[in-house]
Amino acid sequence: MTARPIAVVGASAAGLAAAEALRRFGWRGPLTLIGDEPHLPYDRPPLSKQLLHGAWEPEKLLLRTADQLDPLDLDLRLGTRATGLDVASRTLTLDGGTGVPPREQGREWGTLACAGVIIATGVAARSLPGAEGIAGVHTLRTLDDALTLRGLLAGGGRRLVIVGNGVLGCEAAAVARELGHEVTLVGIAEIPMAAAVGAEVGALLAEEHRARGVQLRTGAVDGFETAPADPSGTGKGQVTAVRLTDSSRLPADLVLLAIGSRPAVEWLADPALDTTDGLRCDAYCAAAPGIYAAGDVARWDHPHHGRPLRFEHRMNATEQGMAAARNLLAELAAEAPAAADGDATPAQERRPFAPVPYFWSDQYDLKIQAYGLTAGADRIETTVLDRAQRRAVALYGRDGSAVGVLAAGLPPRRLRALRAVVATPLAWDEAREQVRAALASGQDTP
């Protein structure tokens, strides 16, 4: 009997990190990597920056080439959607796709019985009612999304309305302005990125966008105006404007919906799984016996923060993919120390996943970097070092402890020097003094 594979669902940064870690940590059995896109695993952060700008081509985004994947001996299923998971039997249901046919297991095409499963399906872009089918209205989540939008922004000034003034909306606005387009950035919140970075840092970003010519608007979308796409008037036509609930009208040749994302868990209907705001996991990234999750889709118990957290950050995806792989192998080794066909894994213990989250955003010449938790803070102290240069440091607190720190316009080494302040929750006053001392010293050493 052929050994059951470990399946990684999601050919993403988290999924690739998990697959590579499974091999590195000793899994010698079949290994299946499933991705719903036809592309090899690629990096997503450059989609809204270097790729959209035209500075990079798609090949530069690849995390691994086909030749680099060969040593992993993957059963690679690209263009394949996972449509179901039976938790008790660890059996996936798959839909379509290309790649190596399923290994012989006495089961028909469409199901895959697994030794273990790591779910790394990430998130999907949110849309708005009435947007579907309107030419010129786009989301930006996949490589194909970014290439389509890049083509429309290539050459000639266009009127671009970006709905959503979070991280993605602000990054896309910066790129579009650098390409010479007329940009309106509209959000429900008055201050861009306020939910992620706080009001004072958000205000600095707003100043930079205004200085670069971006029009900032506050409001909610009420609908879209269109012109017929062809003389017959069939279909919804080409977008010409965005209507807001205050009855104002924003002329548009293109619209980018950057209103957030939803975890890609709709295919997980097994009642054994909690899919409220992502796939709920314990501190070891386990959602159920033999079922683990990593990356944007995972909501797990962070040991240092005492509550379930979900991060849509690139570094977390890689780190959590590795952690999920290690812990799954530890569980499988405990279940069957000598797996079928000699596919044993080295003895090891599961470890809680307790990262110090890191995220960054590039807008114009400004780099924003943060460690720890910045969203959901109940206390923020911002020190503006140079308003004209948009240089600032902010400390974020929750329940009396410092949980996050951010730097805008500072060298990376300066921020890394502040990482220790939030590596584990530290009393607010103590953390505050450490930040002040670090700023006063002006040292660039880590």
State the CB neighbour count (10 A cutoff) for residue 95: 13
Task: Break the chain down into helix, strand, coil percent, rounded to 5.
Answer: 30, 30, 40
Residues of the chain with CATH 3.50.50.60: 6-124+262-342, 127-258
Match domain 365-441 to its CATH number in 3.40.50.720, 3.90.79.10, 3.40.50.2000, 3.30.390.30: 3.30.390.30
pLDDT in tens, 270-300: 999 999 999 999 999 999 999 999 999 999 9
CATH of domain 127-258: 3.50.50.60
Q: Give me the sign of the Cα torsion angle 187, 190, 192, 196.
A: negative
- Whole-number pLDDT of residue 185: 98
Out of 6-15, 226-235, 271-280, 395-404, least confident range: 226-235
User: How does residue 347 score in pLDDT terms, banded at 50, 70 and 90?
Assistant: low
Over the range 315-338, which residues count as b (16 or more CB within 10 Å of their CB) and which as e? bbbbbbbbbbbbbbbbbbbeeeee
Q: What average pLDDT does the segment 28-52 reach?
A: 97
Could you tell me how far CA 425 lies from the centroid of its own chain?
A: 24
Locate 151 and state its tokens: 């083509």
Per-residue model confidence (pLDDT) at position 425: 79
CA distance 49 to 44: 10
Position 429 scores a pLDDT of 95
Task: Assess whether pLDDT exceeds 60 at residue 103.
Answer: no
Tokens of 440: 């006063």
Taking all residues of the chain, what is their mean pLDDT, rounded to a whole number? Answer: 91
Q: Residues spanned by CATH 3.30.390.30 within the chain?
A: 365-441
**Given 3.10.20.30, 3.50.50.60, 3.40.50.1820, 3.40.50.620, which CATH number is that of 6-124+262-342?**
3.50.50.60
**For residues 87 and 93, is the Cβ–Cβ distance under 8 A?**
no
pLDDT in tens, 190-248: 999 999 999 999 999 999 999 999 999 999 999 999 998 666 555 679 999 999 999 99
Q: What is the reported pTM?
A: 0.92
What distance in Å separates the CA atoms of residue 31 and residue 97, rounded to the nearest whole number? 17
CB-based contacts of 288: which residues, under 8 Å, 6+ apart?
Answer: 87, 272, 273
How far from 360 is each of 45, 46, 255, 363, CA to CA, in Å? 9, 12, 25, 10
pLDDT of residue 2: 61
Residue 14 to residue 311: CA distance in whole angstroms: 12
pLDDT digits (tens, 9 = 90+) for 130-173: 999 999 999 999 999 999 999 999 987 899 999 999 999 999 99
Q: Would the pLDDT of 107 be above 90?
A: no
Q: Is the four-CA dihedral 394, 397, 402, 403 of positive or negative sign?
A: negative
